[in-house]
A and B are shown apart, each in its own frame.
Chain A
Amino acid sequence: MIKTIIVEDEIMALKSLEKLCKKYSELDLIGMYENGEDALESIKSAEVDLILLDIDMPGMSGLDLVEKIPNLPQVVFTTGNTEYAYEAYEYDITDFLKKPISPDRFKKAIEKVNETLEKRNAVSLASEMHELYIKTDGKYIRLGYPDILYFENVGDYIKAITSHGTYIFHDTMKSLDSKITNPRFLKVHRSYIINMQWIKDFKDNTVVIKDKVIPVSRAYKSVLLGSINLI
């Protein structure tokens, strides 16, 4: 579902957009706002994928609003004046609709929204398959999956041991485990997630990765045994 909000100060245009949105099952209309200030509060507190945004509003204009949004979702500008088009496209928007908006033109806009979403998802999926970004020392560091040996829980932090260094970041094992999409990673203990491609050997209740002996809980041992090619 595409979480959508409408920002429009003119009641007929607002109702018209609401009606048009309801024709598309993929749009989840989560809010309608008559000014930019209220919309900004909502965008800060909720996840929004698409904003249908009027440009010319009293107070904060649509263009002012997009300036204030840190991670801009998809934006479809709606306006009575095409003279704003050039300025609007400076913001890498998805579409620009002139009011009143016909259902056919709205349909094209939603097609563009879906295309953009598919492209973004493909890029995101490609990233998820190959890497993780962890925040440490105020910046995001890329860890390619093949370089990661294992993760170790240290209090409220996680230690990532890689072939090129050790990094510490704030997270929980449960949350980290849910974010790793690479099937070669396995939780073997409440404090360890290992990359199976780095296993040197294992016996009883331990695995060795490089020179580190990592405990394997009884609960996870059967999962480990089921995940490796035992001869």
Chain B
Amino acid sequence: MYKYSEVLDSVCLDNLYGNDTEYALQMFEIYVDMIEGQCSSLLDAVKAEDRELVRKMSHKIKPVFTMVGLPRLTKLSEQIEKESTIGSIEWLDSHSGELYQEVVGTLPAIKTEIEQLKKIS
């Protein structure tokens, strides 16, 4: 079984991809292509105080993090989705910002993982 980086939740990734590293690689590459843009859109929606859009955006990106071994960000998105209709804008702003920072911070690890996966696929 392929060993993922310790930064990522390998149990979660093994459950999703098993030995299919080509499948994992495809998902990781899509993630890198789109996640920053989607998190920026979430931040913009919070800034615009568009709660429905915040709900939709956080709902949309929620499962994506688990697919690259970052289930804690799935939980954070879930919290944002839940608070989108009732939470304060300040809360949404700080947590969306936290999510964005986490995404940016973990991107190098994801990119390294892509390189590793390319070597064996």
- Residues in chain A within 8 A of chain B (CB atoms): 9-13, 15-16, 19, 56, 58, 80-81, 99-100, 102-104
Contact (Cβ within 8 A) A9 B16: no
Interface residue B63 (Cβ < 8 Å from any Cβ of A) = yes
Partner of A15, one of B18, B26, B59, B66: B26
Whether A16 contacts B67 in the complex (CB less than 8 A), given A80-B59, A81-B59, comes out as yes
Q: Give Cα A80–Cα B82 distance, bound, in whole angstroms.
A: 13
Minimum C-beta distance from A161 to chain B (A)? 60
Interface segment among B27-35, B83-91, B108-116: the answer is: B27-35
Q: Which of B58-92 contact A (CB under 8 A)?
A: 59-64, 66-67
Interface residue B56 (Cβ < 8 Å from any Cβ of A) = yes
Contact (Cβ within 8 A) A9 B67: no
Interface residue B121 (Cβ < 8 Å from any Cβ of A) = no
Of all chain B residues, the one with the shortest Cβ separation from A20 is: B23
Of all chain B residues, the one with the shortest Cβ separation from A104 is: B15
- Residues in chain B within 8 A of chain A (CB atoms): 15-18, 20, 23, 26-27, 30-31, 34, 56, 59-64, 66-67
How many A-B contacts if CB must be within 8 Å? 46
Residues in A neighbouring B20, C-beta threshold 8 A: 103
Contact (Cβ within 8 A) A103 B16: yes
Whether A12 contacts B67 in the complex (CB less than 8 A), given A19-B26, A56-B59, A81-B59, comes out as yes
Residues in A neighbouring B30, C-beta threshold 8 A: 11-12, 15
Q: Give Cα A56–Cα B59 distance, bound, in whole angstroms.
A: 8
Residues in A neighbouring B56, C-beta threshold 8 A: 56, 58
Whether A80 contacts B34 in the complex (CB less than 8 A), given A16-B27, A19-B26, A102-B15, comes out as no
Whether A19 contacts B16 in the complex (CB less than 8 A), given A11-B30, A13-B63, A99-B63, comes out as no
Minimum C-beta distance from B53 to chain A (A)? 10
Residues in A neighbouring B31, C-beta threshold 8 A: 12
Q: Could you write out 10 A-B pairs with CB less than 8 Å apart? A: A12-B30, A15-B30, A56-B56, A56-B59, A80-B59, A80-B60, A99-B62, A100-B64, A100-B66, A102-B16
Q: Give Cα A112–Cα B31 distance, bound, in whole angstroms.
A: 30
